[in-house]
Amino acid sequence: MSRIPLAGVIGAPVGHSRSPRLHGTWLRDYGIAGHYVPLHVEAWDLERVLRVMPRMGFVGANVTIPHKEAVLALADEVTDMAARIGAVNTLTFKDGRILADNTDGYGFMANLRQGAPDWRADAGPALVLGAGGAARAVIVALQDAGVPEIRLTNRTRARAEELAAEFGCAVQDWEKRAEGLGDLGLLVNTTALGMEGQAPLEMPLDGLPAGALVTDIVYTPLDTPLLCDARARGLQAVDGLGMLLHQAVPGFERWFGRRPEVTDSLRAAVLG
């Protein structure tokens, strides 16, 4: 008798993750016999857990904070995308091997294309706020899409300069982040500013051209002050929930054998 496939999300903490609700909705909608569970795993136990998971019936897992970088060294095979980004969010267990990938950039671009189908990568430079792991995935995705120039700004300038040197971007002072917006095609917030429980993001949008697109990877709240401000100015804005939903598509397909769709009903289910 074949095993029922298992998958999950590994992190510490992991109780806040919406991934179980997301994958659980797909499993129910498609009538697939499988389960997706949250797995709280501490750093000291990470390798042992990963090695035993395939023997327990796990076909794969998502990886979240604080393990996204550590998993790189534990995987038997790492995709070019995960290596470029320097982090892993999706694992597949196959023939006793751990295959590591990063689908965050894919999720970011798929969300943009779904939320703003008329946006063009060559419309102008992009300004990325933040210099953490999410910023790395966004930069790689934008470069692959053909954005002509990427500018970085971060509260700690040294981190922005580190990323800029690695990816060939320009650095803008955080204090001057609202300057020189007139030629932008895209503005992306990858920081936690504006998230529930975090400090607000102060980002004046007066200088953005009428055709610019504004997106925020924060999705709690769904309509962040940045997005509300953009819409009030008549600018196109895309929320961050779709990035979470779309990044899950490749993993679900690999683990459960069906490519799922990101729909309005899925968004509603995940938001609860």
- What is the structure's pLDDT at 272? 85
User: Does residue 19 fall inside a structural domain?
Assistant: yes
User: Does residue 107 fall inside a structural domain?
Assistant: no
Give me the domain span that covers residue 257. 6-102+243-271
At 75-106, the pLDDT tens digits run: 999 999 999 999 999 999 999 899 999 999 99
User: Does residue 249 fall inside a structural domain?
Assistant: yes
Q: What is the spatial distance between Cα 136 and Cα 158, in angstroms, rounded to a whole number?
A: 15
For residue 123, give Cα distances in angstroms to 75, 114, 168, 173, 212.
Answer: 38, 17, 19, 23, 8
For residues 228 and 247, membership in a common domain is answered with: no
- What is the structure's pLDDT at 1? 46
For residues 28 and 132, membership in a common domain is answered with: no
User: Does residue 109 fall inside a structural domain?
Assistant: no
User: Does residue 176 fall inside a structural domain?
Assistant: yes
For residues 142 and 220, membership in a common domain is answered with: yes
User: Does residue 177 fall inside a structural domain?
Assistant: yes
For residues 20 and 57, membership in a common domain is answered with: yes
Domain at 63, CATH number: 3.40.50.10860
For residues 48 and 98, membership in a common domain is answered with: yes
- What is the structure's pLDDT at 3? 86
For residues 126 and 45, membership in a common domain is answered with: no
At 43-78, the pLDDT tens digits run: 999 999 999 999 999 999 999 989 999 999 999 999
For residues 150 and 259, membership in a common domain is answered with: no
Q: What is the spatial distance between Cα 39 and Cα 47, in angstroms, rounded to a whole number?
A: 14
User: Does residue 1 fall inside a structural domain?
Assistant: no
For residues 41 and 86, membership in a common domain is answered with: yes
For residues 97 and 24, membership in a common domain is answered with: yes
Please indicate whether residue 68 is annotated as part of the active site.
yes
For residues 208 and 252, membership in a common domain is answered with: no
- What is the structure's pLDDT at 137? 97
For residues 235 and 248, membership in a common domain is answered with: no
Domain total of the chain: 2
**Residue 244 near residue 137 (C-beta atoms within 8 A):** no
For residues 133 and 234, membership in a common domain is answered with: yes
- What is the structure's pLDDT at 32? 97
**Residue 227 near residue 205 (C-beta atoms within 8 A):** no
Can you list the residues of the chain whose pLDDT is less than 70?
1
- pTM (2 decimals)? 0.96
Domain at 169, CATH number: 3.40.50.720
User: Does residue 156 fall inside a structural domain?
Assistant: yes
Q: Given the residues 67, 68, 84, 254, select the one marked as catalytic.
A: 68
**Residue 135 near residue 112 (C-beta atoms within 8 A):** no
